[in-house]
Amino acid sequence: MNKFIRTGTSILQLANEANACIVDLVALKASKKADAALAEIFRNQSTIVGFGFQSDLFEFNRSLPDLSFYKVIKKFCDLQGVHKKASGSDKLISLAKLVKEVLDIDLCKKE
């Protein structure tokens, strides 16, 4: 039995230097207004920074086929890919290990 159960995408975390929010995609997946609002956020010239972001896009497409906000993202930086290029390694690294390696602090998702 696979220990990972595919439940679909449920939340989207958005943040900038001043604000942060969590979007409940399960509650909004039938909302064209929410889809349009998220698309407007991603359509601007902002660069989206993520970790394992290609996997996120795959999951959005798989579990949220009726939404299109994620399809307008043009500029994104996948920190996992940046690390692989910078280190010259094809080995994947977790976000917690990357934070420890680069910032020399433990990643705390409770804050």
Task: Report d(CA 96, CA 111) in Å as an integer.
Answer: 14
Average pLDDT score over residue span 5-26 = 82
The structure tokens listed for 71 are: 């399809």
Beta-bridged to residue 14, according to DSSP, are 21
pTM of the model: 0.69
How does pLDDT run across 17-38, given as a tens digit for each residue? 888 888 888 888 888 998 998 8
How does pLDDT run across 49-58, given as a tens digit for each residue? 888 888 888 8
Residue 75: which residues within 8 A CB-CB, separation 6 or more? 45, 46, 47, 48
